[in-house]
Amino acid sequence: GDSVTQMEGPVTLSEEAFLTINCTYTATGYPSLFWYVQYPGEGLQLLLKATKADDKGSNKGFEATYRKETTSFHLEKGSVQVSDSAVYFCALTPQSSSNTGKLIFGQGTTLQVKP
C-alpha cells in the first residue's frame, strides 16, 4: 500500500544552520505531497504542498520539490530559527483518493534548534 518514510529524529541544529529533512514515498500514479508542522500543544498546520511532478512548494523559507524519479519530497530551509523547533510530518494523498480528506503521514521528525 501507499506509505511515507521520513528520516528519524530528533534533528538538532544551531540557529542559522541549513536544514534538510528527507522524505520518500511509495504510491501508484501521482499522489499529492505535503509537509505539515506541529508545534508543541497544537494541531498540525500545512507548511507547503506540491500536487504534480517537479512542482516546488514553498512557505516561510521552507522549500520542497516533488521528485517523481526518486519518489522524494525533501524539506529544506537555508537558515533555521529557534522558532522553527517543532515536529515535521511528510504526507501524501493517493491519486485515487485526491477528492477525499485522507492523508497518509510519515512518522514525523522532531527538529530542535538551539540558539
Partner 1 sequence: KAGVTQTPRYLIKTRGQQVTLSCSPISGHRSVSWYQQTPGQGLQFLFEYFSETQRNKGNFPGRFSGRQFSNSRSEMNVSTLELGDSALYLCASSLTEGAGKRKLFFGSGTQLSVL
Distance in Å, CB of 20 to partner 1, minimum = 21
Distance in Å, CB of 7 to partner 1, minimum = 14
Nearer to partner 1, 101 or 115 (CB): 101
Contact 97, 78 (CB under 8 A): no
Instruction: Tell me whether the omega of the peptide bond preceding residue 31 falls within 30 degrees of 0, making it cis.
Output: no
CA dist., res. 50 & res. 74, Å (int): 12
Q: Which residues sit at the interface with partner 1, rule CB under 8 A?
A: 32, 34, 36, 41-46, 49, 51, 89, 91, 93, 97-108
Distance in Å, CB of 17 to partner 1, minimum = 26
Nearer to partner 1, 56 or 114 (CB): 56
Nearer to partner 1, 43 or 115 (CB): 43
Question: 3-state DSSP call for residue 33?
Answer: strand
CA dist., res. 113 & res. 106, Å (int): 21
